[in-house]
A and B are shown apart, each in its own frame.
Chain A
Amino acid sequence: EAGVTQFPSHSVIEKGQTVTLRCDPISGHDNLYWYRRVMGKEIKFLLHFVKESKQDESGMPNNRFLAERTGGTYSTLKVQPAELEDSGVYFCASSQLAGGADTQYFGPGTRLTVL
């Protein structure tokens, strides 16, 4: 069974540019999560989808970040315009059931560098 995949693995952009990250969850997993780890800090929650609906976006830093999950399959996370502090590793995870009832399986992450 294929795991969670993310694209690209690395992205280097200039401040002010736009970047779109993609996540493909494990097939059949309705729950999809985005997390971020910035340098020297712990992994932090950004948002949670159940199918195509946003259940919790309390961790999104600001309105420069837009997540979508059209059709309830893959998800994209767009950063526009990117700022220096957006640099970090963005992880996507998926699960069949929510949080405490089920395990979240993580993708390899996208390392974003904003120059």
Chain B
Amino acid sequence: EDQVTQSPEALRLQEGESSSLNCSYTVSGLRGLFWYRQDPGKGPEFLFTLYSAGEEKEKERLKATLTKKESFLHITAPKPEDSATYLCAVPGDNFNKFYFGSGTKLNVKP
């Protein structure tokens, strides 16, 4: 079965302190990698899709990158409002189902 592993499980940053989250995956053939943000009590909110190694996507302070084995979510000069759980997911063989990682819980302190 496809596996998605995220690290670290939790990350505490000071406001303005840049860092990266990791998502590694084992799939027979990558059909896209999706990043979501989840706030407490809410559903996952779509951030990015990456389809091929070397691809990069940016949104405000977030930048997602993809290699053949893993993806990184870089957070530049984070603010407290960036605090959330960040999830990555990959589609299965038949595109029907997403396999999710356990998420990285990010806490940005002012």
Q: Please list the residues of chain A having a beta carbon within 8 angstroms of any beta carbon in chain B.
A: 4, 33, 35, 41-45, 48, 55-56, 58-59, 91, 93, 98-101, 103-109
Q: Chain B: residues with CB nearer than 8 A to chain A? A: 4, 31-32, 34, 36, 41-46, 49, 87, 89, 91-92, 94-103
- Min Cβ gap B70→A in Å is 17
A-B contact count (CB 8 A): 70
Asked if B98 contacts A99 (CB within 8 A), the reply is yes
- Shortest distance between the CB of A98 and any CB in chain B (Å): 4
A99 shortest CB reach to chain B, Å: 3
Say yes or no: A105 contacts B46, CB within 8 Å.
yes
New A-B contacts (16) at CB < 8 Å, excluding given A99-B96, A108-B42, A109-B42 = A42-B4, A42-B102, A42-B103, A43-B98, A45-B98, A56-B96, A59-B97, A91-B44, A99-B31, A99-B98, A100-B91, A100-B95, A103-B46, A105-B46, A106-B45, A108-B43
